[in-house]
């Protein structure tokens, strides 16, 4: 017995296992299931596949397994999987035995062939225990149990852990020209626009930032957070959460100190903070708020020189004062509120329980008065709609690329496991079962990632299409082609509304949608402009 042949001499009969093992290596392309049984008058072999196996191909493969002599007849049947009666049957006889009609014979084979009578009862020859049943990898794979959602998630997370991190930035924002390199405490708006921006300083804080985010999420409000880099270093996951939930995260210095800075120290304090926030969160927002609102200690000068918008405030409830109650804070904000206002609040730097408690009432009362809450970039854009509509370099681009790499990794793993399953011995069913289960698990993970990639590409394409229409609207606005502006903005809004909230780009799509709606509201009515 050798790996290439069944019989090497006449001194012994090969076992059913030996024949099955040889067939396992040679018949996989022609048959997915091979049953081998031995009877006193010779061998019986049943070949099965999704379609009836090709007779000539199977006999050629069997012939390759036989050496110079065929000791006994071999009855070979081909049948469709699940069928009751073979589609064909052939008896292989030694050449020195006279045979009636020869079917599909090759002259170089050490046997002759003759057709067999086909009977449904042929399955009795291959009953359990009568021989060895070999199945191809596809059969084992089909029989393997389906992986659970938890197992699929585990496969994906393990593979994703080997990916290179996404390249920042997720969102790069430069304020419009009218605010770039300047200090401002409120934003002028057109009549009828009641926009206001909530801003939070001195975080992130593990207690109060989380509570603020929960309230904002419940109220469906986006705000702006001026973060201290040292706090970001202490609680990077909170800084990332702020960004992931669609809020603006901006620069509030590294150390929040009030003393005077030399030019080189100011550069480190402002520039290093910006770089670190980008490194941790992937955002680069060129807005800066000096600690304590101090404009003469070197930090604000550095920021304006670098083109930052230096953001002060016009509504200050002084929530940082000891003893302030939530009622006092809310009442103060409501009393001072005005369109284009920037509200100064704190989510870090001390006990901010009163600020957190004041938020729901503050939001409810301002909404009752007709105010809409926006982020600082949205507020600036509303004030200066003729400014550049910035195209964010967002992380979805990198994440889509990461999904593509993940698909390639899982495909390679599936190919390796399939090769391992094909090479495994049919005599070790426990090993085959383990490999098949692992392959099925990997295939399910691959299928999920492929579907997710297709889903993200669709969302990304819709965002890009909406942005292109927004750019066309801007061009048309410069030419005062208001009908074109209206048409393009309406198309962009409709395209953004089609983006699923489960997509990577959804938070940015929401920002753009609000921006385009405000621009649309300010676009002159075509009919009235002709009068």
| Separation CA 41–CA 431 (nearest Å) | 34
d(CA 38, CA 51): 25
Bridge partner list, 80? 49
Query: Is the model's pLDDT at 135 over the cut of 80?
Result: no
Supply the pTM of this predicted model. 0.51
CA atoms of 468 and 473, how far apart (whole Å): 9
Q: State the pLDDT at residue 527.
A: 57
pLDDT tens figures, 335-354: 999 999 999 999 999 999 99
Secondary structure (H, E, C), 55-96: HHHHHHHHHHHCCCCCCCCEEEEEEECCCCCCCEEEEEEECC
- Which 8-state DSSP code applies to residue 185? S
3-state secondary structure of 250: strand
Using DSSP, state whether 372 is helix, strand or coil: strand
The catalytically annotated residue of 201, 202, 319, 347 is 201
Is there a catalytic annotation at residue 252? no
100: exposed, middle or buried (Cβ count in 10 Å: 0-12, 13-18, 19+): exposed
What would the pLDDT profile of 492-521 be if each residue is shown by its tens digit? 999 999 998 778 787 778 778 888 888 898
- Per-residue pLDDT tens for 432-444? 788 989 999 999 9
Q: Would 16-94 and 173-382 be classified into the same CATH topology?
A: no
At residue 394, the pLDDT reads 30
Q: Please compute the mean of the pLDDT values over residues 394-418 and round it to a whole number.
A: 77
Q: Give the pLDDT confidence score for residue 455 in this predicted structure.
A: 86
Which residues share a beta bridge with 76?
A: 45, 90
Between CA 525 and CA 306 the distance in angstroms is 39
- Catalytic residue chosen out of the listed positions 133, 252, 256, 346: 346
Residue 46's pLDDT is 83
The fold of 16-94 is Phosphorylase Kinase; domain 1 (3.30.200)
Instruction: Write out the two tokens for 27.
Output: 């018949």
The domains of the chain are located at 16-94, 173-382, 400-521
pLDDT of 375 above 80:
yes
Q: In CATH, what is the architecture of 173-382?
A: Alpha-Beta Barrel (3.20)
- Residue pLDDT, tens place only, 304-313: 999 999 999 9
pLDDT digits (tens, 9 = 90+) for 444-477: 989 888 888 888 899 989 999 998 999 899 899 8
The pLDDT of residue 296: 95
Q: Is 201 a catalytic residue?
A: yes
pLDDT of residue 105: 47
């Amino acid at each position: 017995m050798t790996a290439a042949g069944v019989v090497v001499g006449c001194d012994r009969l090969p076992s059913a296992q030996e024949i099955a093992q040889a067939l396992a290596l040679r018949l996989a392309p022609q048959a997915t299931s091979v049953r081998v049984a031995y009877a006193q008058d010779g061998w019986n072999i049943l070949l099965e596949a999704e379609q009836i196996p090709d007779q000539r191909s199977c006999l050629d493969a069997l012939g390759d397994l036989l050496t110079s002599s065929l000791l006994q007849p071999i009855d070979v049947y081909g049948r469709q999987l699940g069928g009751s009666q073979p589609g064909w049957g052939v008896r292989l006889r030694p050449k020195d035995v006279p045979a009636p009609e020869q079917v599909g014979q090759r002259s170089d084979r050490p046997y002759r062939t003759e057709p067999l009578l086909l009977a449904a009862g042929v399955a009795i020859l291959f009953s359990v225990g009568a021989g060895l049943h070999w199945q191809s990898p596809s059969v084992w794979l089909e029989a393997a149990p389906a992986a659970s959602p938890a197992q699929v998630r585990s496969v994906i997370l393990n593979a994703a852990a080997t990916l290179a991190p996404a390249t920042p930035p997720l969102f790069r924002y430069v304020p419009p020209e009218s605010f770039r390199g300047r200090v401002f405490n409120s934003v002028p708006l057109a009549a009828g626009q009641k926009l206001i921006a909530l801003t939070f300083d001195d975080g992130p804080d593990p207690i109060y930032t989380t509570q603020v985010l929960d309230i904002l999420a419940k109220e469906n409000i986006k705000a702006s957070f001026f973060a201290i880099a040292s706090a970001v270093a202490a609680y990077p996951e909170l800084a990332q959460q702020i960004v992931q939930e669609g809020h603006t995260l901006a620069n509030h210095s590294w150390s929040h100190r009030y003393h005077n800075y030399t030019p080189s120290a100011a550069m480190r304090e402002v520039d290093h903070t910006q770089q670190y926030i980008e490194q941790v969160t992937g955002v680069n927002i060129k807005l800066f708020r000096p600690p304590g609102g101090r404009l003469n200690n070197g930090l604000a000068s550095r920021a304006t020189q670098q083109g930052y918008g230096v953001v002060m405030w016009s509504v200050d409830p002084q929530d940082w004062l000891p003893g302030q109650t939530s009622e006092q804070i809310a009442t103060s904000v409501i009393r001072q509120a005005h369109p284009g206002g920037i509200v100064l609040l704190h989510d870090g730097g001390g006990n901010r329980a009163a600020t957190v408690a004041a938020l729901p009432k503050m939001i409810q009362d301002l909404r009752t008065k007709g105010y809409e809450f926006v982020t600082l970039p949205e507020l600036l854009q509303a004030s200066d709609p003729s400014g550049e509509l910035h195209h964010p370099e967002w992380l979805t681009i990198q994440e889509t690329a990461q999904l593509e790499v993940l698909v390639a990794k899982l495909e390679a793993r599936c190919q390796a496991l399939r090769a391992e399953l094909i090479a495994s011995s049919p005599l070790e069913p426990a090993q085959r079962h383990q490999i098949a289960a692992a392959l099925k698990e990997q295939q399910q993970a691959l299928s999920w990632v492929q579907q997710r990639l297709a889903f993200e590409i669709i969302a990304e394409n819709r965002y890009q299409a909406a942005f292109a229409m927004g750019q066309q609207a801007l061009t048309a606005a410069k030419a005062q082609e208001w009908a074109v502006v209206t048409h393009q903005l309406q198309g962009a809004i409709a395209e953004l509304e089609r983006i699923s909230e489960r997509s990577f780009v959804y938070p940015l799509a929401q920002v753009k949608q609000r921006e385009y709606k405000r621009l649309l509201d300010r676009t002159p009515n075509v009919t009235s402009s002709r009068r």
